[in-house]
Structure 1
Amino acid sequence: MTISSGNILLVQSGGCTPVMNSTLAGLIKNGQTLYPQSRIYGGIHGIEGIIDGKIPDITELSNSQLKSLSKMPGAALRSSRHKLLPNDIGPLLNTLRAHDIRILHTIGGNDSAVTGLRVSEAAQEDKYELQVINLPKTIDNDIVLTDHSPGYGSAARFISQATFGIGKDAEAMGINSPICILEVMGRDSGWLAAASSFYKKTDHDAPHFIGIPEVIFSEEHFMISIESAYRNYGYAIAVVSEKIRSAEGNLGRDNPPTFTDNFGHNYFESPGKYLSDLVEKRLGVRCRWEKPGTIQRSFMDAVSTTDREEAYQIGRKAVEMARSGMNDVIPTLIRSSNQKYEYSIGSASLKDVAGEIRYLPEKYRPDEQGYTSDSFKSYLRPLLGNPIHDTDSIFHLL
């Protein structure tokens, strides 16, 4: 494809991450540098903004504004979970033509890759020259063909610290509230739940059970782990993904989903609450359940230094990819084989990423006592950024 002489359109899509705007800032900054004659537009609420013609000019953002943007959680352009429909194509292409958009950058996950690919195909069918370069983001870490996804490191940092803190709280409170279930995000994969194990060094430490979507959930094994920890240590912590599944299907759900999004993803009532009720019924003690929800993907003080930097550089690199004539691609993060953590940015074809799911490999999956392997912790450690807190016990009272 020839190098564009038109304008650039940026959109954000899917669930937010703590560093999604850092990628946006990198896109805008390098777009200003490498395309000084072009205008940069932003789609309001993702693909819906393009369909509705709501794409304000954001070319003139200053360096100080971009610096602030790079540290802001959420999606500054507003996000969307809209699935592209056949009757959306006409209005979408009309907006692109009206503003001479020749490069489309979408920051999103695997569903957004499906959308980017469909826009590219529609433009080709209409003989409209358009470069489409998606950019990865997801706290779920489930995008294929990349070592990890921007957003994961920060959310994993939050979950690892929250698990450690909840464990210390439950241990301190004793019989008053000795057991807690922490429900974390991760619709199809257990990368986030597994991160809860980072500070676990001994059987005594939280978590004592981790439930992930990749492994069939057993109430019997869950109760054995929780009761054993409670009897032995006076407290117990379980971390479960939001869509853990039993052999019968979605956990404890005889009812239909409470919500189904445009991509067909079902959302049910909380497994954390279900398990909390189960524990209280079986053990006769108070069991809290915590669901941080969007806090885990928006907490500014938990942002990983590594994550923010890589997210920004992904944005810059995507502009360079467009400048070199690449099309229908997505940047990827490649980890070096050196002992010291280093990375580079490569690329993958959108068609190889769209709609695919990267599951937690077996070698990284937790055991029934809440441990993960040293290899997983080595994988995770650099992604959490700095500082990593010293969690060695100060007192040994009991």
Structure 2
Amino acid sequence: MDYTSYPRHHVLCIDMRSFYASVEAVKLGLDPMQAILAVVGDPSRSGSIVLAASPALKQKYGVSNVSRYFELPKDDPELIIVQAHMADYVHTSIEITKLLMEYAPKEAIHPYSIDEIWVTVDGLEKLFGDSWQIARMIKKEILERFGITCSIGIGDNKFLAKAVMDLHAKKEGIAECRYEDVEEKLWPFPIEKIWGIGSRMKRNLNRMGIITLGQLANSNLKYLKKRYGVMGEQLYWHAWGIDLSPVFGDFTKTEQKSFGHGMTLLRDYSESEVRICILELCEETCRRARTANKAGKTIHLGIGYSKEVGGGFSRSRSIVTPTNITMEMYEMCMQLFEEFYDGKSNIRRVYVTLEQLYDDMQTQLNLFDNTSKRKDLGFVMDRIRDKYGSTAILRASSYLPGGIAIDRSKKIGGHFA
């Protein structure tokens, strides 16, 4: 492969090691790399998921971030079990991002997740040195300020930085992969170890006899593109270490294509209870739409039945006039529910979505109904909640056993703040 025509940058991919567990260990005055600690979503539930395990816990017992609370070795006196505190993790992540802004401009920083971030350090040699020197400085400063160990990958683009971080830096601390290193440092690895290839794509590629990244790089591009479309083409170029995604820009602004809310319920819900849950999800969805001055024409409802039954349905329907009025969305969701619900199964998962968005000012008001009043009522409720909190004003149904709004107000990302 001739790489002369492809851009070369100095991109760092920084990953905080066992981030949630590390934050909790530091709060307790412990060494995050030595403490045997697990962060659990809700310790009062035996089936609650382990959100993070410290490196020592992973090494000693093989605990992963998909393990359950009841699977933890409770007989180990060294084991520390901590409930998740999402607000602390968000705060620490923001502070780490602020630290990185001391090294690079805002447009060169691209947060990928709460514990992972790309930083492009082009042109900073005279200030801080080369990529390796900058990586060492950042790694040292994060440890000193926050007590957290991080791994850093260095590459010509985001993919190479991320791939070498996953495959090498998590063991070595800092690792580098340039275009010329792809064959040696990436090709020998199984495709499932590569960022962007999930279990389904792994199965598909394995059926084609593609086991390693090197085999993917040397496969037929036309066939991959024909079979998997744009994704197949992207995987092929990634296998050669080529990634043309931008490394500078405002990475926080993306076009909103829909508004939605959903959740997996903590227990099986009956038909009457799930109606309350749907209403509250519609309330939050329309609130977000109104805040963004958007309204949608397509309303989507998804229902997942309990594990014992399995299955469910996912259906959508369009309306004539775009809406962001809670009761209009709810009424359509109820039509879908009554039409497609089997009438007997308990329900464990619910989600609603408002799609096909328009600017709210483009919607037309009907002179013969009370749409204007319903819309004004929604904005008034939004202002009250913005000023006094999300539970400052609630529907009476939220206080019934099926209500979820009060419990959700205590959480961030589905976990306790």
TM range (shorter): under 0.3
- Find the structure with the greater CA-based Rg: 2
TM-score normalised by L of structure 2:
0.25
Tell me: higher relative CO, structure 1 or 2? Use CA pairs within 8 A at least 6 residues apart. Answer: 1
TM-score normalised by L of structure 1:
0.26
Q: Between Structure 1 and Structure 2, which shows a larger proportion of strand residues?
A: 2
